[in-house]
Structure 1
Amino acid sequence: MDFKVSSLLFIAILCLISSTSTAFNITKILAQYPEFVSFNDLLTQSGLAKEMSSRETITVLALDNSSIGGLSGRPLDIAKRILSAHVILDYYDQIKLSKLKKASTIVTTLYQASGAADDRQGFLNISRTAEGIKFGSAVKGAPLVASLVKPVYAQPYNISVLQVSEPIEAPGIENMAPPPPPAAVPKKAPAPTAKSPSKAPAPSKVEPSTPTESPTEGPVAADGPVADVPTASPLADAPMADETTAEAASSQMHAGGAVVVIGLLACMMGF
């Protein structure tokens, strides 16, 4: 029993979610009201009906057949701009309008979302006045031209349709050029960089090398020719000098010995 109750509750919740998230069809909604046939036709012809149906939350300021005549004779692109400023990107019904805390409230329209609006042309001014709720362009100095006539349709909080007394035209909106189609942005060529003149490498300063003295070599003059170096060093000649001295001493000893022997012989012969 509990399982069946839980299943039924789950199905009811799904149905509730699906009903609130279902996209609305503004053409079918307005088709129920013959007084908005001309307004509905303009929305379809301009493509606004399709754009509006893709939104989750909007408020449509609708014009009846008697007040839309001025827009029907204009070029379709101009009529589209003006009518897109009648689509508020938020939910407002008569109850919410009556509870506005501020005397004037600025709201965003579908025309602002198109990217073609200039200055504040894509915004509307909703004001509470002594005569009731009034609407006008949010462009500085623009008057409040339309009055709230009656609520037409509401599906909280997705779509609300309110009837207004006359079209709301932002100053200069008729002279606005349509936005150009997006084009591929060409890639910019890299800017040439100025080449700085190449500098010759600075001459390196070579310090004169300090001559090193070798024990077996004579000194080398810094700026003069190399001095002659004797082939034999004093150390190499030292042993030869000692041998010569020894031979001379030996000869002298032999000569002295011979003199002594001769003297002795002479003495012996004299005796």
Structure 2
Amino acid sequence: MSSFAQPSFLLFSSFLLLSSTATAFNITNILSKNPEFSNFNQYLNETGLNREINRRSTITVLAVSNGAVSSISDKSTDLIKSILSNHIVLDYYDIPKLQKLKGKSEILTTLYQSSGVANNRQGFLNVTNLGNGNIVFGSAVKGAPLDAKLVKLVASQPFNISVIEVSSVIVAPGIDGNFTAPPPMMTPAPAPSPLRAKAPRKANAPKKAQAPEVESPVDEGSDDTTPSEAPAPSPTPDSAPPKSDTPAADAPATEDATAPASPASRAVLSAGGVMGLVLALTVVFLKF
């Protein structure tokens, strides 16, 4: 190797060494300086997630304290790996960057999404800046709560690794294989309008009893049935018809012969017959 090539090779090697040193990090060493994350650090080592983290050039780890991570201590190693994979964000986020999201939300891609087994947005996180220093994290699955609060920044190496403490473990719905879709949002049905009270039905009033129609008595001596007209008076001997030589039976009848004689007519005929007989006897007596 020439004298010119040797210094160039040494310079290039030094550049690579410095570059690798500047970008290299070890999550186990970072967390070991903070005893409150000893259980979280142990889970990363047992599941092999520490190696996945150290191979990345840009990463954000959402660390959970010993008290909070105890909520998954009864899970299997595989399930713990899946849950903690959602705490490894494939981008760099520190406190200043999160504060710029004031009043906004952002969807973060996690290591669990790159595993190829995530379903229904299980490999994504939702981070929302509520304002007044309140920043919350949660699963991006629809209906999942945002209940993991930002506590503090543990360590950072811009723009390669950031370790942030959150208040609780983030468990995506269905990550254990028992996924139950959240109930759909339903619009409440409008309250039924109050029914107007119906007025009580009036009882049918009893019909007024009608008095039976009473026919006014009609005098038997009258042909007219109108009760307002008085019956014609019966003829008396003083009102007898004038003397006539023609027998009363030959006198033209004033009524239809075929019509039945009323009692009054029969009385008139009887009186006329008597008077006629009297006159006939008188005439015979005078002749003799």
TM-score normalised by structure 1 residue count? 0.58
Runs of 4+ in 1 over 4 A off after TM superposition: 9-16
1:123 deviates by: 0.3
Aligned equivalents of 1:38 and 1:15: distance in 2?
Answer: 33
Contact 1:59/1:88 (<8 A) preserved: yes
Give the C-alpha shift of residue 130 in structure 1: 3.7
TM-superposition CA deviations, 1:162-220 (whole Å, max 9, x none) = 0000011111001179xxxxxxxxxxxxxxxxxxxxxxxxxxxxxxxxxxxxxxxxxxx
Distance 2:52 2:18 in 1: 25
Q: Partner of 1:38: helix, strand, or coil?
A: helix
**Match runs of 1:22-171 below 5 Å:** 22=24, 24-100=25-101, 103-130=104-131, 132-171=134-173
Whole-angstrom distance in 2 between the partners of 1:153 and 1:106: 22
Is the 8 Å Cα contact of residues 85 and 110 (structure 2) preserved in structure 1? yes
Contact kept, 8 Å, 2:40 with 2:65, in 1: the verdict is: yes
Measured at CA, do residues 175 and 54 of structure 1 come closer, stay the same or move farther in structure 2, by a change above 3 Å?
same
Distance 2:19 2:51 in 1: 23
- One-letter amino acid of the structure 1 residue matched with residue 23 of structure 2: S
Provide the C-alpha distance between the structure 2 equivalents of 1:71 and 1:77, rounded to a whole number of angstroms.
12
RMSD: 2.5
Task: Measure how far apart 1:18 and its partner are.
Answer: 3.6
Residues 124, 140 of structure 2: 8 Å contact kept: yes
Structure 1 CA distance for aligned equivalents of residues 103 and 165 of structure 2: 22
Return the offset for 1:20: 2.3
Q: What aligned pairs does 1:8-27 form with structure 2 within 5 A after superposition?
A: 17-22=19-24, 24-27=25-28
Matched residue SS, 2:125: strand
1:215-239 deviation digits (Å, cap 9, x = unpaired): xxxxxxxxxxxxxxxxxxxxxxxxx
Deviation for aligned residue 1:19: 3.0
> In structure 2, what is the equivalent of residue 217 of structure 1?
none
The answer to whether the 8 A contact 1:42-1:72 is kept is no
Kept after mapping to 1: 8 A contact 2:155/2:163: yes
Change (3 A) 1:145 1:17: same
* Higher helix content, 1 or 2: 1
- Matches of 1:107 and 1:20 in 2, distance apart? 25
Amino acid at match of 2:62: L
Deviation string, structure 1 residues 39-70 (Cα, Å, up to 9, x no partner):
00000001111111111111000001111101
- Determine what percentage of the aligned residue pairs are the same residue: 54
Shift of 1:101: 6.3
Evaluate the alpha carbon distance shift between residue 35 and residue 120 of structure 1 in structure 2; reply closer, same or farther with a 3 A threshold.
Answer: same
How far the C-alpha of 1:100 sits from its partner, in A, is 2.4
The 8 Å contact of residues 111 and 123 in structure 2, kept in 1 or not, is answered as: yes
Give how far 1:12 is off.
Answer: 8.8
- Structure 1 residue runs of 5 or longer lacking an equivalent are 1-6, 178-271
Does the CA contact (< 8 Å) of 1:107 and 1:124 recur in 2?
yes
Change (3 A) 1:102 1:89: farther
1:11-53 CA-to-partner distances (Å, cap 9, x unmatched) read 996665343233x111111111100000000000011111111
Paired with 2:178 and 2:62, the residues of 1 have a C-alpha distance of 22
Equivalent position SS for 2:128:
strand
Measure, in 1, the Cα distance between the counterparts of 2:56 and 2:127.
21
Total equivalences in the alignment: 172
Taking the aligned partners of 1:74 and 1:14, their CA distance within structure 2 comes to 42
